[in-house]
C-alpha cells in the first residue's frame, strides 16, 4: 500500500459544512426524518488525490482505521459511479483527513461528493449535476449539498436544495472528544419532531437560528455540553448537525481569532471562514 500520492495524481479539496439552522418538521413513513436546514460551506478541507488507471480497479490507498473498504464513502462513491455508467476506467485514491470524524461537519459526505464530481470529469462521463445529485443521495443525505456546491436551504431529508445568500462569516469550532450517535439522537424520546415548516427563509442580522437536536445531545453527552459552555462565554453557540462540534459565528476574522486563541489551548478547535462556492466549481 502506497500512502503517498502517485506523481501524476491530481489534487482536489473537499470542504466541510456547518448547519446554521436545523429543524425537524416531520417523519416519513419509512422512518426518515423530514428536515429543514441552512447549510454553509467552510474553509476546512479534506485533501483527495486521484490517479486514473485502465484496469477498472478502484483502490483507496489511505484507509481510515476501523472503516472497511465496503463502508468507506470514497470507495462507495467511486463504485456507485462506475456501476451506474459502466465505465472501463478505474482510479487510485489518496485521502488526507483534516475534517474531524463524527463532528457533524459532513467530512465523509464531502469526500463522497468530490469523488463523484471529480470522477465524472476525469472519467469523461458527462453526467449532469442533477444526475450526480440523484446518485449522491444514495450515499447519504448530506452528499447532495456538497454537489450543489453553495450555501443552501435544504428540505426533505436534505436533498431538496435552494440557493440562499449568506453574509461572510468566521467561525470558531470546538470538537469535543466524543462521537455522537446520530441514530441514537434521532430515536430519542425527547427529540423535537414537529417544528413548523417555513417558506424560503430570508435571514437578517439578529435572526434566531436553532438546532432541534441540540438540547438532546447536550443532555446526553457531557463533553458536548462542556464545549458548548466554553463558547457560551463569548456569545450564543450552536451545534452543527447531530454533533459533536459546536461553533460560534463572528462578523470579523479578528474577533474570531481572538476567541480561538483563548479556547484552542485547551480544546481541539478551528478558526475558519465561510465559503461562497465549492472549490471544484471555482
C-alpha cell at 248: 460560534
Whether 248 contacts 231, CB under 8 Å: yes
Measured CA to CA in angstroms, residue 209 lies from 26, 190, 196, 248, 276 at distances of: 18, 20, 14, 12, 20
Half-sphere exposure of 101 (CA within 13 A, CB side): 8
Q: Alpha-carbon distance 154 to 148, whole Å?
A: 11
Per the annotation, the verdict on 142 as an active-site residue is yes
Q: Alpha-carbon distance 194 to 179, whole Å?
A: 26
Residue labelled with grid coordinates 435571514: 203
Q: Which of 17, 46, 92, 175 is catalytic?
A: 17
Give bridge partners of residue 150 from the DSSP assignment.
277
Q: Which of 21, 46, 72, 142 is catalytic?
A: 142
Per the annotation, the verdict on 225 as an active-site residue is no
Instruction: Show which residues are catalytic.
Output: 17, 142
Amino acid at each position: 500500500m502506497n500512502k503517498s500520492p502517485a506523481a501524476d495524481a491530481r489534487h482536489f479539496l473537499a470542504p466541510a459544512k456547518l448547519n446554521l439552522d436545523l429543524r425537524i418538521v416531520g417523519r416519513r413513513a419509512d422512518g426518515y426524518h423530514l428536515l429543514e436546514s441552512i447549510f454553509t460551506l467552510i474553509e476546512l478541507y479534506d485533501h483527495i488525490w486521484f490517479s486514473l488507471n485502465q484496469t477498472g480497479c478502484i483502490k483507496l490507498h489511505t484507509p481510515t482505521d476501523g472503516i472497511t473498504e465496503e463502508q468507506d464513502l470514497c470507495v462507495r462513491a467511486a463504485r456507485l459511479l462506475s456501476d451506474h455508467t459502466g465505465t472501463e476506467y478505474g482510479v487510485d485514491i489518496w485521502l488526507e483527513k483534516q475534517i474531524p470524524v463524527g463532528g457533524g461537519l459532513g467530512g465523509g459526505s464531502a469526500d463522497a461528493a468530490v469523488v463523484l464530481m471529480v470522477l465524472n470529469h476525469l472519467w469523461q462521463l458527462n453526467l449532469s449535476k442533477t444526475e450526480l445529485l440523484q446518485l449522491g443521495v444514495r450515499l447519504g443525505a448530506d452528499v447532495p449539498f456538497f454537489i450543489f456546491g453553495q450555501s443552501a436551504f435544504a428540505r426533505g431529508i436534505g436533498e431538496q436544495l435552494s440557493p440562499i445568500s449568506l453574509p461572510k462569516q468566521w467561525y470558531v469550532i470546538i470538537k469535543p472528544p466524543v462521537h455522537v450517535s446520530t441514530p441514537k439522537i434521532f430515536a430519542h424520546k425527547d427529540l423535537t419532531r414537529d417544528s413548523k415548516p417555513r417558506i424560503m427563509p430570508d435571514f437578517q442580522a439578529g435572526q434566531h437560528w436553532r438546532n432541534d437536536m441540540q438540547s438532546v445531545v447536550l443532555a446526553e453527552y457531557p463533553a458536548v455540553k462542556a464545549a458548548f459552555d466554553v463558547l457560551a462565554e463569548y456569545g450564543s453557540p450552536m451545534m452543527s448537525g447531530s454533533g459533536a462540534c459546536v461553533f460560534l459565528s463572528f462578523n470579523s476574522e479578528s474577533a474570531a481569532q481572538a476567541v480561538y486563541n483563548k479556547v484552542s489551548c485547551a480544546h481541539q478547535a478551528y478558526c475558519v471562514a465561510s465559503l461562497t462556492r465549492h472549490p471544484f466549481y471555482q
